[in-house]
């Protein structure tokens, strides 16, 4: 029986955060696919509060919320560290992880809406990207320095899911704002071997999200 | 060299209260500076340029922002006194989960209760009580969320108790009637000096909320 199981659903960016962390540390796991339109009793049992994926099961015990899962993975399997060890640097890393979690939903609002709501979401997304460009990256290759760390993983949505949202909606956020540091980071992040080998198929994602956007807007 | 700690704060902020409690639990000397949020100091804007919010903890000139991050930072740096997070990684993940739950739900739902009326307010009240009941479930028979001693989740949640009277008056309901265990827990926390000295009086917070309602034209 696998010691580590991951309840998740393609192509959730939160699922991929956990995959990247596990792979970077060389941890084997069993993937249990959830149908979010028909949630399994297992998911409802292991995440009764939010009923969401991903859920990590370690020796049968559930951990929920992707960034909490990542902190847990970091503590149980410290090899190839994903967080700085010095408390102040750790606090700065956690600040940007929280920022990523708090602000990234704006890009999904761009995806899910039209009209006035959509305009506001575009504005919020550009503001977020501007803040990352001006305050978060500095001159480093990655948020983690020479190697990626938990902060890069937290921002992973921007490297791969945002471009798909841009293609589906026709809103070119990254170009519009001209974010050179961020654009370079995106290029470098996607070249990291573990990331490159563990990304959803771009064409399949495009088709999936195109259908979803059509359905979402039709139901409004 | 002695540690220099400055806390930029605002007296009714439950987020600021979390940091006050953590510092008091560990007996850490610090300077408390009250911010006027309608006239933010140059120091605040310099130390938290991204969010421009309090609380900001400045340790030897270097800022740490966001209350949950500040409490974890304090716990890590001053790890010998009164530990707040459990030492077991799985228990830590559980504590972080509930702190995250409090952050996602309690502030926004509480805000809904004192800023809205009618159906919106009723929905807010219902969801607020549901969340408190979930927290009661997590507390179980333990004296504190941290077990025998005050822990991370206690520090994260108890500040909202100072806002309960304001929620009750604005929402015209009794939290104690619905969640007596949680009220008993809050009062147990208040027996501790670190908590009682960090939380303002409920009447004072209610007065502040009434003032805000006037300023923002909320009935």
Tokens 């830590």 -> residue: B92
Taking alpha carbons only, the member of B96, B87, B95, B80 closest to residue B26 is B80
Q: How far is A177 from chain B (nearest CA, A)?
A: 18
- Per DSSP bridges, beta strands A61-64 and A4-8 are unpaired
The torsion angles phi and psi of A5, rounded to 5 degrees, stand at: -125, 150
d(CA B65, CA B55): 7
Judge: B69–A98 Cβ closer than 8 Å, yes or no. yes
Question: CA–CA separation, A156 vs A214, rounded Å?
Answer: 25
Distance CA A54, CA A15 (A): 5
CA distance A94 to chain B (A): 7
Tens of pLDDT, residue by residue over A85-123, are 999 999 999 999 999 999 999 999 999 999 999 999 999
Q: Measure the CA dihedral B201/B82/B64/B70, to 10°.
A: -60
Contact B93 A95 (CB under 8 A): no
Sheet holding B56-59, edge to edge: B31-34, B5-9, B56-59, B62-65
Average pLDDT over all residues of chain B: 97
Q: What is the ipTM of this complex?
A: 0.96
- In tens, the pLDDT along B101-143 reads 999 999 999 999 999 999 999 999 999 999 999 999 999 999 9
With H, G, I as helix, E, B as strand and everything else as coil, classify residue A85: coil
Q: Give the pLDDT score at B1.
A: 55
Q: What is the pLDDT of residue B80?
A: 95
| CA–CA distance, B13 with A94 (Å, rounded to integer) | 21
What is the least distance, in Å, from the CA of A64 to any CA of chain B?
A: 7
Phi, psi of A50 (to 5 degrees): -105, -20
- Using CA atoms of A157, A161, A165, A168 in order, give the dihedral in degrees to the nearest 10: 180
What is the per-residue pLDDT for A176? 72
- What secondary structure does DSSP assign to B42-90, as a single string? HHHHHH-TTT--S-EEEETTEEEESHHHHHHHHHHHT-SSS--S-SSHH
Domains (ranges, CATH) in chain B? 5-78 (3.40.30.10), 89-216 (1.20.1050.10)
Residues from A contacting B (CB-CB < 8 Å) are 49, 58, 61, 63-65, 68-69, 71-72, 75-76, 87-88, 90-91, 94-95, 98-99, 131, 135
Question: What residues contact B114, with CB distance under 8 A and at least 6 apart?
Answer: B166, B167, B170, B171, B209, B213, B218
The answer on pLDDT for A2 being more than 70 is no
The pLDDT score that the predictor gives to residue B169 is: 97
What single string gives the DSSP state of each residue in B107-139? Answer: HHHHHHHHH--HHHHHHHHHHHHHHHHHHHHHH
pTM for the full predicted model: 0.96
Write the pLDDT tens digit of every residue in B2-41. Answer: 789 999 999 999 999 999 999 999 999 999 999 999 999 9
Chain A residues inside the 8 Å CB shell of B97 = 49, 63-65, 68
Phi-psi region of A101 (alpha: psi -120 to 50; beta: other; left: phi over 0): alpha
Query: Is the Cβ pair B100, A61 closer than 8 Å?
Result: no
d(CA B151, CA B132) in angstroms, rounded, equals 18
Residue with tokens 């009434």: B210
Give percent of chain A above pLDDT 90: 94
Cα(B62)–Cα(A142) distance, rounded to whole angstroms?
22
How much of chain B exceeds pLDDT 70, in percent? 100
Condensed to tens digits (0 to 9), the pLDDT of residues A196-208 reads 999 999 999 999 9
- Residues B79-89 pLDDT 10s: 999 999 999 99
Chain A positions touching B133 (Cβ under 8 A) are none
Interchain pair B69, A68: CB under 8 A: no
Say yes or no for a CB contact (<8 Å) between A94 and B101: no
The span from the CA of A5 to the CA of A58, in Å, is 7
The tokens for B97 are 């989960």
B72, B89, B100 ranked by CB distance to A76: nearest = B89
B92 contacts A75? CB cut-off 8 A: yes
- 3-class SS of residue B8: strand
Task: Answer whether the bond into residue A158 is a cis peptide, omega within 30°.
Answer: no
B115 burial class (0-12, 13-18, 19+ CB within 10 angstroms)?
Answer: middle
Q: Are strands A61-64 and A55-58 parallel, antiparallel or unpaired?
A: antiparallel
- CB-CB: which of B59, B62, B97 is closest to A64? B97
Give the integer Cα–Cα distance in Å for B164 and B128.
11
- Inter-chain touch A72–B49, beta carbons under 8 Å: no
Enumerate the residues of chain A whose CB falls inside 8 A of the CB of residue B92: 71-72, 75
Question: Cβ–Cβ of B100/A63 closer than 8 Å?
Answer: no
Q: Residue A133's pLDDT band (boundaries 50, 70, 90)?
A: very high
Q: What is the pLDDT of residue B2?
A: 74
DSSP class of B216: T
| A49–B101 C-beta distance less than 8 A | yes
Q: Measured between beta carbons, which residues in chain A are less than 8 angstroms from residue B72? A: 91, 94
Radius of gyration (C-alpha) of chain A in whole angstroms: 17
Contact B50 A58 (CB under 8 A): no
Q: Give dist(CA A13, CA A19) in Å, integer.
A: 10
Helix extents (H) in chain A: 13-24, 41-46, 66-76, 87-103, 105-112, 115-131, 150-154, 156-169, 173-177, 180-191, 193-196, 202-218
Is B43 within 8 Å of B63 (Cβ atoms)?
Answer: no
Say whether B96 and A68 touch across the interface (CB within 8 A): yes
Per-residue model confidence as pLDDT tens digits over A10-44: 999 999 999 999 999 999 999 999 999 999 999 99
- In this predicted structure, the answer to whether residue A1 has a pLDDT above a threshold of 60 is no
Is residue A160 pLDDT above 90, yes or no?
yes
């Amino acid at each position: 029986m696998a010691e580590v199981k991951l309840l998740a659903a393609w192509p959730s960016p939160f699922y991929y955060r956990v995959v990247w962390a596990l792979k970077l540390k060389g941890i084997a796991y069993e993937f249990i696919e959830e149908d979010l339109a028909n949630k399994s009793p297992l998911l409802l049992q292991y995440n009764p509060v939010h009923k969401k994926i991903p859920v990590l099961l370690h020796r049968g015990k559930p951990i929920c919320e992707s960034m909490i899962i990542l902190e847990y993975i970091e503590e149980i399997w410290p090899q190839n560290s994903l967080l700085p060890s010095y408390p102040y640097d750790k606090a700065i890393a956690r600040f940007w992880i929280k920022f990523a979690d708090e602000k990234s939903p704006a890009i999904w609002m761009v995806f899910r809406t039209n009209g006035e709501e959509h305009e506001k979401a575009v504005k919020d997304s550009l503001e977020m990207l501007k803040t990352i460009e001006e305050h978060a990256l500095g001159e480093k290759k990655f948020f983690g320095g020479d190697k990626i760390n938990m902060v890069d993983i937290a921002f992973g949505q921007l490297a791969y899911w945002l471009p798909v949202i841009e293609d589906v909606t026709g809103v070119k956020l990254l170009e519009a704002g001209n974010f050179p540091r961020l654009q370079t980071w995106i290029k470098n992040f996607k070249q990291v071997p573990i990331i490159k080998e563990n990304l959803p198929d771009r064409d399949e994602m495009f088709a999936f999200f195109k259908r979803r956007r059509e359905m979402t807007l039709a139901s409004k | 060299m002695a540690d220099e700690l400055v806390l930029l704060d605002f007296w009714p902020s439950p987020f600021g209260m979390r940091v006050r409690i953590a510092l008091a639990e560990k007996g850490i000397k610090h300077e408390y500076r009250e911010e006027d949020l309608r006239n933010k100091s140059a120091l605040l804007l310099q130390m938290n340029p991204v969010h421009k919010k309090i609380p900001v903890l400045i340790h030897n000139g270097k800022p740490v922002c966001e209350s949950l991050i500040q409490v974890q930072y304090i716990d890590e740096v001053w790890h010998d006194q009164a530990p707040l997070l459990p030492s077991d990684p799985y228990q830590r993940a559980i504590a972080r989960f509930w702190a995250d739950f409090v952050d996602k739900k309690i502030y926004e739902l509480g805000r809904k209760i004192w800023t809205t009326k009618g159906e919106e307010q009723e929905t807010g009240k219902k969801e607020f009580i549901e969340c408190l009941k979930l927290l009661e479930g997590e507390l179980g028979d333990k004296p504190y969320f941290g077990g025998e001693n005050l822990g991370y989740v206690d520090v994260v949640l108890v500040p909202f108790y100072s806002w309960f009277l304001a929620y009750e008056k604005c929402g015209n309901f009794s939290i104690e009637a619905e969640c007596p265990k949680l009220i008993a827990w809050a009062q147990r926390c208040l027996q501790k000096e670190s908590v009682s000295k960090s939380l303002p009086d409920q009447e004072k917070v209610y007065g502040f909320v009434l003032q805000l309602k006037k300023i923002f034209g909320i009935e």
